[in-house]
Amino acid sequence: EVQLVQSGAEVKKPGESLRISCEGSGYSFISYWINWVRQMPGKGLEWMVRIDPSNSNTDYSPSFQGHVTVSADKSITTAYLQWSSLETSDTAIYYCARAYSSSSAIDYWGQGTLVTVSS
């Protein structure tokens, strides 16, 4: 069974750093890109970034470039999304999701990680 299991909810203060994770199982982790999608409270879905775990190639949305960093460790089939300095506007649910390529639809999603940034 394909699973993407994300790390738990986080509460942080503005300016703090954070790394959230997404562990894939039940499939060949290096054969699928991992994407990160943001959903702000009560809002729609925004694609942020994708990473190819086989070689760590990345594509960033211009809207998120420079504010987040994506990485992956194929040895432990885990992808990460990190911030060096959080802002209150980063409060959202973050989903990891796999796709076979950048020309494929997302077929499996993680359960989401709620990040709350508040002073």
Q: Which SS3 state, helix, strand or coil, does residue 111 take?
A: coil
The minimum distance between CB 43 and another protein, in angstroms, equals 8
The minimum distance between CB 47 and another protein, in angstroms, equals 4
Site string for another protein, 24-43 (x = CB under 8 A): -----------x--------
Q: Which stretch binds another protein (CB under 8 A): 7-15, 21-29, 72-80, 102-110?
A: 102-110
- Round to whole Å and give the CA distance between 76 and 98: 16
Cβ neighbours, 10 Å, residue 87: 11
Task: Answer whether 119's CB lies under 8 Å from 14's CB.
Answer: yes
- Round to whole Å and give the CA distance between 19 and 104: 27
62 CB-near residues (< 8 Å, 6+ apart) = none
92 binds another protein (CB under 8 A): no
- Round to whole Å and give the CA distance between 79 and 22: 5
Among 1, 62, 66, 75, binds another protein (CB under 8 A): 62
Among 20, 36, 80, 110, binds another protein (CB under 8 A): 110
Residues lying near another protein in the complex (CB under 8 A) are found at 35, 44-47, 59, 61-62, 95, 97, 99, 102-107, 109-112
